[in-house]
Amino acid sequence: MSSALTKPRLLTGDTPTGQLHLGHYVGSVRRRIELQDTYECFFLIANMHAFTTRSHEPDEVRSDCIEIVRDQLAMGIDPNKSSFVIQTEIPAISELTYLFAMLLPFNRVMRNPTLKEEIKVKGLGDTYSFGFPLYAVGQTADILAFRAQSVPVGEDQVPHLELTREVARRFNQMYCDVSDQADDADHVKLGGVFPIPAADVGTVGKLVGYDGKQKMSKSLGNAIFITDTEKQIKKKVGKLYTGRQSPTEPGDPNNVLFHYVECFINDQDRVAELKDRYARGDNIGDGHIKQEIAEAINKLLEPMRQRREQYEGDDDTIMDILKSGCAHAIEVTEETLSLAKEAAQMKFFDREVRYR
Ligand code: ATP
Ligand code: MG
């Protein structure tokens, strides 16, 4: 416990709009695994945010919450080191969302390029709920409620992080007398409630889906899930389209196929060799490269499959892990909320939130 107190904090998360895929692994989870010893880690499952597009299917959202924990355990997160947290179990997050919504101009929220992109690619038109743009504000509360310093995420989350940094600075300046000239790194030292968090973008900030077009996304039907079988992986990788006609046609070693080669084939000499032969059209077919990619992905997923097996069908263990994660998160976030309410002159009484 005492070492946990001295560790910097890390918060990141996923929306239960489906199960976890390779994009999650390379963009965020791989980094979570690397950092789980050096940070006090909280991995949030943003089930309220899933309602932005799935309010009509609460059963699926709930079961995806459980599956996302299983997926992360399979990938190598250790529940004894890190806390898994269900967003709707943490009252401080909702309360801070409301407060931060007061500090952000509406137009500023709507200018967020990730929101705009999601409205476009998810086909939300102009019928999205009021809660849809609110989720971007909610995400600032997710991060700040934990007073996290580090947020390992994919590239699409950088605009959300920028919004979070803005809110944290504004709050500290308005209510904690931190100067608007202060360096981000000094905010807490100068009396600010919130550290100014930084995005930690994974080595692959954006894995493209097997459609070869959009970011791999749970919601876009272009994802390779970590629970996919060898056969499913082969089929999906087979769909990577380059337009190349024959093994002797010089190919573009920056196309989508090579995006996958670079992400999943670890042997750098082999990567260089494949690139060279592809560019020269040295009798190397797309089909062969796809086979090597599928093999590399299977090799990556095999230990995950084995780890996942031990949690399969065992929802009780997952619920226990979640309950202790949420209890720890409540402690941390109630403390933050109390400090924030005090600073903003909103606190009148002490309170306690705990599980029975
Ligand atoms: P949705 O389609 O519902 O938005 P998603 O597949 O984008 O789902 P999220 O839960 O929104 O997944 O993202 C969780 C984390 O994984 C975020 O940090 C996000 O940046 C990262 N991530 C998601 N997809 C990718 C990807 N294709 N490449 C890299 N990182 C990704
Ligand atoms: Mg997303």
pLDDT tens track for 295-329: 999 999 999 999 999 999 999 999 999 999 999 99
Cβ(218) – ligand 1 distance below 6 Å: yes
What pLDDT score does 205 carry? 94
pTM above 0.85, yes or no: yes
Nearest bound ligand to CA 44? Answer: 1
pLDDT of residue 16: 96
Average pLDDT, the chain: 96
Ligand 1 within 6 A of CB of 27: yes
- Residue 351 Cα to chain centre, angstroms: 31
What residues are paired with 268 via a beta bridge? none
Mean pLDDT of 36-59: 97
Q: For the segment 10-20, what is each residue's pLDDT rounded down to a tens digit?
A: 999 999 999 99
User: Which of 174, 199, 202, 214 lies closest to 344, judged by CA?
Assistant: 174
pLDDT digit string (tens) for 226-253?
999 999 999 999 999 999 999 999 999 9
Q: At 204, phi and psi to the nearest 5? A: -110, 100
What's the average model confidence in pLDDT over 189-218? 95
Query: Is the per-residue pLDDT at 4 higher than 60?
Result: no
DSSP annotation of 156 reads G
**Rounded to the nearest whole angstrom, what is the distance from the C-alpha of residue 350 to the centroid of ligand 2?**
36
Residue 154, pLDDT > 80, answer: yes
Report whether pLDDT(223) > 50: yes
Tokens read off for 84: 């898994």
| Separation between Cα atoms, residue 90 and residue 330, nearest integer Å | 6
Nearest atom in ligand 1 to the alpha carbon of residue 204 is 29
Quick one: pLDDT at residue 2? Answer: 45
24 Cβ closer than 6 Å to some ligand 1 atom: yes
Task: Say if strands 83-86 and 198-201 run parallel, antiparallel, or are unpaired.
Answer: unpaired
Angle at which helix 131-145 crosses helix 158-175, to 10 degrees, equals 70
DSSP 15-69: -SSS--BHHHIIIIIHHHHHHTTTSEEEEEE-HHHHHHHHTT-HHHHHHHHHHHH
pLDDT recorded at residue 354 = 92
- Looking at the chain, the whole-number percentage of residues with pLDDT higher than 70 is 99
Mean pLDDT in residue range 185-214: 96
Contact 21, 218 (CB under 8 A): yes
Model pLDDT, residue 5 = 57
Q: pLDDT at residue 199 above 50? A: yes
Q: What number is the average pLDDT over the span 283-306?
A: 97
Binding site membership of 206 for ligand 1 (Cβ less than 6 Å) = yes
Indicate if ligand 1 lies below 6 Å from the C-beta of 54: no
**Residue 284 near residue 291, CB atoms below 8 Å:** no
Query: What value does the mean pLDDT take over residues 127-151?
Result: 96
What number of H helices and E strands is found in the chain? 15, 5
State yes or no: pLDDT of 292 exceeds 70.
yes
Burial per residue of 298-319, b for 16 or more beta-carbon CB atoms within 10 angstroms, e otherwise: bebbeebeeebeebeeeeeebe
Predicted local confidence at residue 203, as pLDDT? 87
CA atoms of 6 and 21, how far apart (whole Å):
33
Query: The tokens of 118 are what?
Result: 């999601």
**φ, ψ of residue 40 in degrees (nearest 5):** -85, 110
Asked if 353 and 91 count as a contact pair (C-beta separation under 8 A), the reply is: yes
| Model pLDDT for residues 254-279, shown as the tens digit of each residue | 999 999 999 999 999 999 999 999 99
Q: Considering every ligand atom, which ligand is closest to the CA of 87?
A: 1
**122 and 53 in contact (C-beta within 8 Å)?**
yes
Place 218 in a pLDDT band, splitting at 50, 70 and 90: confident
Return d(Cα 215, Cα 220) in angstroms, integer.
9
Averaged pLDDT, 148-155: 96
- Cβ neighbours of 123 (radius 10 Å): 9
CA of 217 to the centre of ligand 2 (A): 6
What is the predicted pLDDT for the residue at 121?
Answer: 87
Instruction: Count Cβ atoms within 10 A of the Cβ of residue 242 and give its class: 0-12 exposed, 13-18 middle, 19 or more buried.
Output: middle
pLDDT at 88 over 90: yes
